């Protein structure tokens, strides 16, 4: 049975802390809906109505572009182990760009160092928390994080990553501008 909550409660935070993966969905008017899997190692609950994750450089930058266009975002967690549950966080947010005071604050409070390839934070103001049964989610066993993105970023180096972001992360697939980057 689905239940709505105006904010994150302690049991929601506990559930999030046990997960290894979350999914971010975003859209803007007249755009494709983007859906991306993410590792929870960069996800942080900032308060009962705010969450953020450190976004690493990737092949696209759809979420940033959608949020900049005033679009909505949904973050979803689902239990692949243990009791079934799906938890969705609905809201509006923003990309917090590297080099800004807010980025530095989030990084210093929530991380011991900046991972290679860090691109921005995605910060979401949570307007609705919704849980549902999760009975249809299959059981999987978590093995480990893939080293691929870290190895790729280290091989590119800071200058290569900055050039990559300028070439590949400035606009969404639908032509919406994403948050600006250094370089």
Strand residues in the chain grouped as ranges (E)? 3-5, 21-27, 34-39, 43-47, 50-56, 72-78, 86-97, 118-132
Residue 132 has pLDDT above 90, yes or no: yes
Nearest alpha carbon to residue 86 among 33, 135, 24: 135
pLDDT tens digits along 70-83 = 879 999 999 999 99
- Tell the CATH topology of 3-135+145-168: Pnp Oxidase; Chain A (2.30.110)
Distance CA(162)–CA(153), nearest Å, equals 11
Task: Give pLDDT, residue 183.
Answer: 43
Q: Please give the model's pTM, rounded to 2 decimal places.
A: 0.95
Three-state SS for 40? helix
Measured from the Cβ of residue 84, the count of other Cβ atoms closer than 10 Å reads: 16
pLDDT tens digits along 42-58 = 999 999 999 999 999 99
Across the chain, mean pLDDT equals 95
Tokens of 30: 């007249």
pLDDT tens digits along 6-24 = 999 999 999 999 999 999 9
Residues 6 or more apart from 160 whose CB is under 8 A from it? none
Nearest alpha carbon to residue 96 among 84, 109, 77: 109
Domain residue ranges in the chain: 3-135+145-168
pLDDT tens digits along 158-167 = 999 999 999 9
What is 79-114 written as a DSSP string?
-SSSS--EEEEEEEEEEEETTSHHHHHHHHHH-SSP
């Amino acid at each position: 049975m689905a239940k709505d909550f105006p904010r994150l409660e302690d049991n929601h935070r506990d559930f999030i802390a046990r997960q290894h993966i979350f999914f971010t969905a975003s859209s803007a008017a007249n755009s494709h809906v983007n859906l991306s899997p993410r590792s929870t190692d960069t996800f942080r609950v900032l308060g009962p109505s705010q969450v953020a994750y450190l976004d690493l450089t990737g092949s696209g930058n759809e979420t940033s572009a959608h949020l900049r266009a005033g679009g909505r975002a949904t973050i979803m967690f689902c239990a692949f182990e243990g009791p079934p549950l799906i938890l969705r966080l609905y809201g509006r947010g923003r990309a917090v760009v590297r080099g800004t005071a807010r980025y530095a604050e989030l990084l210093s409070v929530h991380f011991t160092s900046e991972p290679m390839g860090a691109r921005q934070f995605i910060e979401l103001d949570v307007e609705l928390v919704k849980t549902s049964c999760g009975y249809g989610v299959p059981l999987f066993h978590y093995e480990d994080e893939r080293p691929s993105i870290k190895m790729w970023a280290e091989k590119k180096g800071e200058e290569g990553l900055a050039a990559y972001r300028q070439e590949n992360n400035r606009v969404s697939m639908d032509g919406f501008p994403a948050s600006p980057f250094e370089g």
